[in-house]
Structure 1
Amino acid sequence: MTRQLLQEPVQDLLQSLTNPDGPDLLSTFTTNPQPLAHEHGLPQLAPFLGRPFYGQEGVSTYFDLLSSHLLIENMTFESEETWVIDESCMAIALRGTGTFTWKETQQSWDETFFYRIKVAEDVSDDSEKNGSLKVSEYHVWADTGAAYLASLGKLNGTLE
């Protein structure tokens, strides 16, 4: 598997996350194998943290939860030359930045987050999708403490 072939589905995913006119988000994920979305952290801190979301429905639920709680602006990613690509396991690691706002409290913070995205051949029953490379695993590590404090309205204050 070449570096360029592995990058294409990740580029599609990032385009869908940052551009409203980009590809449909769910279309960037496999249907078979069942995709996974997992934002690492304690599940007690936010409803989208610390648990795996499986399948197209699970991935949709994860992004719905994320968007119901957070407004994400100014999302950018490092250039592709800096991505760490493991061709043997078909995975890419990269960093991004953005401004996050907890919708209920309107508290915002800037952060750097890390993605590990695994790619697989989609072997669905849909002949148009069959054989194309898509995102099969989407792992995120971000500033869960900032999200938690913002959810409480205490991001800019003291912890008393």
Structure 2
Amino acid sequence: MSHRDSLLQAATLFCQSFASKRPPDEIFSHFTSTESNISVFEHGLPRLAPFLGREFRGREGLERYFKTISECLTYEDMRFSNYVVDVEMRKVSVRGEARFTWSSTGQSWDEVFTYVLAFDVEGKVVKYEVWADSGAAYLASQGKLT
């Protein structure tokens, strides 16, 4: 299997496990076992949501990020497309779509988002970056999404 194909397969398996709401341990199994190398960062202003604009490092940070996300949000109909593989940098960018709901207010919105996944030489995620609609998340958290 080529490097490109192995990166694409690793990214696809990660995204499928997230989209199908697999248990956290299964999602975490896609990350490197070198815990100190793990980095999770969702772009946005930290004051808009507790998971934005903060780097979550290591296995503990990874678990804290996903716990925070699961306390704030639920999602339905998640799907991924437009995978772009950068073999030299060992990164994959992917477009995602889903319907999100802010749990405490029940307000929902349809969103398009992007993941950039960086992989180690074993095909495990070392860096997980997210670009999403932080404005919609904030408005939904305040019960002001129209």
- TM-score scaled to structure 1, two decimals? 0.84
User: Are the structure 2 counterparts of residues 72 and 27 from structure 1 closer, same or farther at C-alpha, using a change threshold of 3 Å?
Assistant: same
Counterpart residue number, 1:142: 132
More helix per residue: 1 or 2?
A: 2
AA at the equivalent of 2:89? C
Give CA-to-partner distance per residue, 1:93-152, whole Å, 9 cap, x none: 11010000000000000010011111113xxxxxxxxxx320111000000000000000
Q: CA deviation at 1:5?
A: 1.1
1:86 aligns with 2:86: yes
Give CA-to-partner distance per residue, 1:14-73, whole Å, 9 cap, x none: 122012457701111012262111100000000000011011111111011001000111
Looking at structure 1, the residues matched to 118 and 100 of structure 2 have their Cα atoms a distance apart, in angstroms, of 25
Counterpart residue number, 1:31: 33
Q: Which has the larger radius of gyration?
A: 1
13-22 or 1-10, larger mean C-alpha shift: 13-22
Counterpart residue number, 1:60: 63
Looking at structure 1, the residues matched to 117 and 21 of structure 2 have their Cα atoms a distance apart, in angstroms, of 21
AA at the equivalent of 1:109? W
AA at the equivalent of 1:153? G
- TM-score scaled to structure 2, two decimals? 0.92
- How does 1:39-50 map onto structure 2 within 5 Å? 39-50=42-53
SS of structure 2 residue aligned to 1:96 = strand
Unaligned runs of 5+ in 1: 122-131
Looking at structure 2, the residues matched to 133 and 101 of structure 1 have their Cα atoms a distance apart, in angstroms, of 32
Aligned length: 143
Looking at structure 1, the residues matched to 58 and 26 of structure 2 have their Cα atoms a distance apart, in angstroms, of 16
Say if 2:8 and 2:83, in contact at 8 Å, map to a contact too.
no
Looking at structure 1, the residues matched to 94 and 10 of structure 2 have their Cα atoms a distance apart, in angstroms, of 14
Unaligned runs of 5+ in 2: none
Supply the RMSD in Å over aligned alpha carbons.
Answer: 1.5
Percent sequence identity over aligned pairs: 43
